[in-house]
Structure 1
Amino acid sequence: MSTDSGVLATLRATPTPVRYLLGGVLINQLGAFVQTFILLYLTFRGDALGIAGLSLAAYSVGSIFGTLLGGELTHRFGPRTTITMAMLASAPLVASIPFVATIPVVLFLVVGLAGLVTQTYRPAAAVLLSDLMPEEHQVMAFSMMRIALNTGAAVAPLIAAGLILIDWDLLFYLDGATALLYGLLAYLLLPRVEAPKDDEEKKPAVDARAAYARMAGDRKYLAYLAAVFLGTIAYAQSVTALPLEIVADKYPTSLYSAVLTVSSLVLITCELKITSYIVKIPQHIAVFAGHMVNSLGFVLYALAFQSGTFVILGAVFAVSGLMIAGPTMFAHPAKFPAEYKSRYIGTMQAVIGLASAIGPLFGVFTFNSLGGAFWIVIALVNGVAGLLAVYGVREAQKEPVEAGAA
């Protein structure tokens, strides 16, 4: 049993189309510059901070609706078509940003549409991954997808730093090029039909209203979504409030660079191995343990004023908790029946997008007002997320079938 769930066993069991899918995710993430650099780009050009902020808000709003749209399109047209359409639509939009940057209304529209279509591919990729990977390797497979995303997110700023030295506009040209490349690879290499399911009988189509009504009545899934929302807001403080903490405690900014480096290295190099152990224990225990380890990291941040060592230790615990709970949480919506799966995945990713947009605002506005209690509050919020997650994912493999039969 332990051999079947190991890293090497999972890699051997990974079908070739999944390798193409993960490679495409990595390529696209390597050029994902809009959300990270749009603020810096516009302020560098001399635009007002308000224009830059509204542009980022437009992208964030587009992203939230994009994941919902992606779930619906995947259900109607299939993952391959959705990924191809999303990336081919994203490429010209992001590449045109330098040409419309001087016209605010057009800029907001283009950036918002870029966020919408760019994020549409995510539910499709998750559905295709869950359809193609053997069930016993699903959590490991989603861990591999997370590694592809995180590797791209870690390397992209290094690429951006070199491009900026030449021309800021190159950021968006490369972003468009990687989206175009991913779209073409998806069209040429990904399977045209969903992976067959031997045990699945043909079922009548489920329309969007029925699917979302079912979701709204699923208390376990709503608890899971609440856990995702609170957990994402809590973890967002590692990139929002933690820099404020480092500045307030009069540490050099290089300490935050060290935190980012350590977190990325631990996440990329250790997640797959940790997941190989996590899949051997009940999933509700894994998500609870992960949230508790994560909360311990936030508590260590509260001690940052005493020594910068607590900042590094806090980062290690925070990212370790993410590795313990993350793969199971990320894979959970893919366990639902095929007629609901894409919409459940899309809704989960929309909740992540919403929390990612709210989290930084929450951190900025509450950090100063809460003072030394801030990180304790964040740890408690994350602890509540852990309890909700336990309720939401426990016996998840049985719940969807029972709920669907009811």
Structure 2
Amino acid sequence: MTAVQDQDQQQQQEPAGAGVLATLRATPTPVRALLAGVLVNQLGTFFQAYLVLFMTARGFSAGQAGWALGVYGAGLVVGLLAGGALGDRLGPRPTTLLSMAGSAVLLPTVLYLHQYPAVLVIVALVGATTQLFRPAAAAMLATHTAKHRRVMIFALYRLVQNVGATTAPLLGAVLVAVSYDLLYWVEAASTAAFALLAVFLFPRGGTESAAQQRGGYRPVLADRRYTLFLAAMFINVFVYVQYVAVLPLAMRDAGLATGWYAAMLSLNGLIVISLELLVTKLTQRRPARWVAATGFVLLALGHSLYGFQWGVVAFVAGTVVWSLAEIVGGPTMFAYPALAAPEELLSRYQGAAQAMYGLGTVLGPVCGVALWLAIGPPVWWIFGLTSLAGLTAAWFGMRRAERLS
């Protein structure tokens, strides 16, 4: 009997709701190492945020830099899909080593290339290699955590990602003030540090079964219910990401200074970092599809509020509501693939979900800005209706009676 099975049997003897400290105390060393490694890696993640500024500083046009960012996004999606297949076949340790060691080698390479096609190739490879580990990491969280603690452990995983993502641009600004060389060498060092943690603290790769060798992503797509969940994941991110695409344009056109947009970003970050774990203690005991549906309703309402001409009040109210959507639905949506997947396909189920997340972050801004330019403020009501379409997909795609805890 595994440690996770032991923990699952003890669930009935524990208080309803696996708290943060109880979850951390119960997590094995590999999970703690993963959380620490992701935090270190995220604190040093500068490549995407500073790519446009780096390329324009090196003499490339803004258009060329924009295309490079798109290529990075395409590499990201490919890396997540490839990482799902590799994770099932190799296990989390070799996959993470390949991802982090490859990134550590590739990241500084962009500093020494001057031909645009060569830069695009490296940008695509960096986008892919930096994401390879993510499906295997999510699978490792699931397999080394008791079922009743999975939503909380994924909330902790999201927390370290959010803390890193919030802090990294500030650290990057300090490093850029010295040089871009320092920026990307520091990022390479952070990925190498994560690789070392994986070497010493991650479990060795498991055995590969015949089922794991066959079919690629066909078994995942054959799960009709799960494909609906994948559609819901894509729609969720497609709408969510409009806060970095359409929201700054809408606030500018409403006559508000850039500082107000920065305040909205800070408000979202404050709500997520301070409240998500507390909210997760309540939501983790609820049926997964009810939690996801609540998140979609809040997402629809939050973006729809932006469509009203109420000045800064609409923007503050809308930001608060869709931030609540993030902390209510986010941990459950991210943890759900661990419930839906057969054990031998766990990384591929995770990879498919994360690829939909990546695809949403690529297509969402492009489509959102195009719609804004075409119809203006009513676009927010379109995003609200789109969120309700996502709710429908999640409702029919997620199991009716299952809970994630």
**Same fold, judged at TM 0.5 (above):** yes
User: Residue type of the partner of 1:330?
Assistant: F
Q: What does residue 252 of structure 2 align with?
A: 247
Alignment RMSD, CA only? 1.7
Deviation at 1:187?
Answer: 0.8
Q: Distance in 2 between matches of 1:47 and 1:169?
A: 17
Q: What secondary structure is seen at the aligned counterpart in 1 of 2:392?
A: helix
2:111 equivalent to 1:106: no
2:375 to 332, 350, 370: 370
Q: What does residue 384 of structure 1 align with?
A: 389
Q: TM-score, normalised by structure 1?
A: 0.92
1:156 to 157, 160, 168: 168
Q: 1:165 to 1:344 in 2, by over 3 A?
A: same
2:47 equivalent to 1:34: yes
Q: What does residue 215 of structure 2 align with?
A: 210
User: Residue type of the partner of 1:141?
Assistant: I
Instruction: Answer with 389-398 or 125-134: which moved more.
Output: 389-398
2:135 equivalent to 1:130: no
Q: Distance in 2 between matches of 1:327 and 1:251?
A: 33
2:341 equivalent to 1:328: no
1:175 to 167, 175, 187: 187
Q: What does residue 4 of structure 2 align with?
A: none
Q: What does residue 92 of structure 1 align with?
A: 105
Q: Distance in 2 between matches of 1:14 and 1:216?
A: 32
User: Residue type of the partner of 2:170?
Assistant: L
2:231 equivalent to 1:219: no
Deviation at 1:211?
Answer: 5.3
2:343 to 335, 338, 361: 338
Q: Distance in 1 between matches of 2:250 and 2:377?
A: 10
Q: What does residue 48 of structure 1 align with?
A: 61
Report if aligned partners of 1:262, 1:316 keep a CA contact under 8 Å in 2: yes
Deviation at 1:215?
Answer: 2.1
Deviation at 1:193?
Answer: 4.6
Q: Distance in 1 between matches of 2:400 and 2:53?
A: 45
| Map 1:9-28 → 2, pairs under 5 A | 9-28=22-41
Q: Distance in 2 between matches of 1:85 and 1:315?
A: 38
Identity among equivalent pairs (%): 37
Question: Runs of at least 4 residues of structure 1 off by over 4 A?
Answer: 1-4
Q: What does residue 20 of structure 2 align with?
A: 7
Q: What does residue 198 of structure 1 align with?
A: none
Q: Deviations over 1:268-304 (max 9, x none)?
A: 111111111001211111000111111111122112x
Q: What does residue 61 of structure 1 align with?
A: 74
Q: What secondary structure is seen at the aligned counterpart in 2 of 1:206?
A: helix
Q: What secondary structure is seen at the aligned counterpart in 1 of 2:273?
A: helix
Q: 1:211 to 1:2 in 2, by over 3 A?
A: farther
2:323 equivalent to 1:319: yes
Report if aligned partners of 1:205, 1:339 keep a CA contact under 8 Å in 2: no
Deviation at 1:208?
Answer: 5.3
User: Residue type of the partner of 2:336?
Assistant: H
Report if aligned partners of 2:84, 2:132 keep a CA contact under 8 Å in 1: yes
Q: What secondary structure is seen at the aligned counterpart in 1 of 2:376?
A: helix
2:203 equivalent to 1:191: yes
